[in-house]
Amino acid sequence: MKKPKKRRKKRKQRDFGSFFFRLTQVAMICILLGACYLFYQTGYIQIVMELHAEAQKVMENSSIEDFQANQSGEIYDVDGALIALLRNDKNIVYLTSDEIPKLVKDAFVSIEDKRYYKHHGFDPFAIVRASQSLITKNSITQGGSTITQQLARNIYLTHTVKWERKVEEIFIAMALEKKYSKEEILEFYINNIYFSNGYYGIQAASQGYFSKDADKLSLSETAFLCAIPNGPGSFDPLVHPENTLKRRDLILENMYKDKMISKEEYEQALDEQIVLDLSRNSFTRTWAHIYIYDCATRALMKATGQDYDTCHEQLYTKGYRVYTSIDMDTQSLLQQTIDEQLSDYNTLNPNGTYALQSSAVCIDNETGLVTAIVGGRTQEDILPDYNRAFMSFRQPGSSIKPLLVYTPMLERGYSANSTVIDSKEEDGPSNSSGRYSGAISLRTAVEQSKNTVAHKLYRELTPEVGLSYLLNMNFSSIDEEDYNLASALGGLTTGASALEMTAAYATLANEGVYRLPTCITMITDMDGNIITIPDSESQQIYESSAAHEMTNILEGVLTRGTAKGKGIPDMPCAGKTGTTNDNIDGWFVGYSAYYTTGIWVGFDSPRSTSALSGATYPVDIWQTFMTSLHEGKKSQALQD
């Protein structure tokens, strides 16, 4: 007798439930009809149609490039070690779909959009689930927006909370699903979502927070990172790690319930301690970096035919991999040598920088590529952005003489043993020593840096001819006013950079063949496709015989001349000092068979100091650096 009663009770419950369901359906239909009527009466339907048309137009112009913009690039030194990231407003290190770990995909689908592979861009069930969660748990564990909607919002729309934006978001999401596959959309989404602290995409976040690639993340670390995009401020792991961990646990729970991971994996991931590793972000920025950026931009200009500004912007947004000739050990050695040699002079400029400065460049003679470039002294709180080595132009003094006077004259019948007259002329310059030797060899004139001889020979050569050699070696600041005899002694209106001077002396070391200085060996895209391998732009500037003889003469500068005793022990080398009027600038540029290095020392705001000349700080820096650089190298003659 009792059992039939129970069945009747259950039947009554089912009938009531069925009635309630029908009533709910009728109510929803009425609400929908009412909403449509109101939309029609108020003109909202027209707005919706316009939003739909606008969404279609957005999709017509859509391309994969929309989702691959603002990718972070990478810079590598001569040994292939990563030395810098190229970042713009977005730090995206892009991964293709097959490169994104499955755990990452599963984590986002589980927590953000469970029906991702079933809906077509918009999921009304997700809104119902979010509402139900808010009512029953007083919190939203999964949002109402699909992954596709979030992508549409992040790429094409703003985050302004307006109904119009939400409607257009849905239209764009649905159009996205028609144009791209689910795998493509998930790839775009995972690469473009924000992980706080300037990181966009899972790879940038993984490198930033754990100093490793995404495919090396553990399950727990994966869930930890995937927790951040839901609220980059609230779940910032550097500020609110406890919040990030809490959401990590929620993601793991979702993945377990969705049977994406086993119970054992779930429990192990919960127990795993998260330890951040920010070391990948602690690249030491050197003076070489700003030079690398400039060289890379110019290489892209030549490869693409675009202007400097466009290529410079693309350098930070296209995800390029830039490979360079910079040797970080050599860079560090050159920087350390300059800092130590000038350590006693700590007077500051009004802007807080050291008053006495230096710049230097080292070129590998075998390749013609820059291996180190220093644009100033190391100083805390001063960014190495203004690289004097290629941005600053100073009068080169006597270091210019071999380039635009003596080597050209060796091409015109003079030799090291030619007799020249060292005597003061009424309208001519004085020698820095105040002494005049009468008839001497050209070799001696170079070794003793006789201004009188250089002036006379330059008058014979003419400034037009002499300066043409500098122009052919891309000296960029030759002025019309430089076409006078004063330029023979380095009296240039603007001057020359340490980079220009070093590349010119490397020309003498390379049998008179000039190679345009750069530090770029190759640029590829993010997939390893070659964008450019810069050709070595070379030009025969001096006859090889003249370059050989000039080298032989310059060897004497370090054994008998103005830089006597400043050579590299047990290593043949050549070079020339340079000092401008009133001891304002000091230079030494010299080379071995292996390297050419140029050193400048002076004040940013030119002023005289009696302690400065080419034979003091510049040659001391050069000798100390070059001696260390050549340790363990076999002695090699400058002439074959």
The catalytic residues are 112, 398
Q: How far apart are CA 452 and CA 489, in angstroms?
A: 9
Q: How far apart are CA 218 and CA 215, in angstroms?
A: 8
> Which residues are bridge partners to 322 per DSSP?
75, 523
Whether residue 185 contacts residue 148, with contact meaning beta carbons closer than 8 Å, is answered with yes
C-alpha triplet 356, 490, 565: angle, nearest 5°: 65
Tokens 């950079």 correspond to: 497
3-state per-residue secondary structure call for 13-48: HHHHHHHHHHHHHHHHHHHHHHHHHHHHHHCHHHHH
| Largest Cα–Cα separation, the chain | 141
Residues listed for the chain: 640
Q: How far apart are CA 333 and CA 306, in angstroms?
A: 36
Q: How far apart are CA 430 and CA 102, in angstroms?
A: 78
Within 8 A by CB and 6+ apart from 580, the residues are: 394, 395, 396, 397, 490
Q: How far apart are CA 11 and CA 27, in angstroms?
A: 24
Q: Is 473 exposed, middle or buried (0-12, 13-18, 19+ CB in 10 A)?
A: buried
**Nearest CA among 392, 401, 332 for reference residue 362:** 332
Q: How far apart are CA 288 and CA 563, in angstroms?
A: 28
Which is it for strands 321-324 and 73-76: parallel, antiparallel or unpaired?
parallel
One DSSP character per residue, 324-383 reads E---HHHHHHHHHHHHHHTTT---B-TTSSBSEEEEEEEEETTT--EEEEE-S---TT--
Structure token digits, residue 159: 């985050």
Structure token digits, residue 13: 């419950």
Report the Cα 320 to chain-centroid distance in Å.
Answer: 9
C-alpha triplet 15, 19, 22: angle, nearest 5°: 140
Sign of CA dihedral 428, 432, 435, 440: negative
Q: How far apart are CA 338 and CA 357, in angstroms?
A: 9
The helix (run of H) or strand (run of E) holding residue 420 is strand 419-422
Q: 92 — phi, psi (to 5°)?
A: -105, 125
**Nearest CA among 155, 273, 269, 274 for reference residue 209:** 274
Within 8 A by CB and 6+ apart from 18, the residues are: none
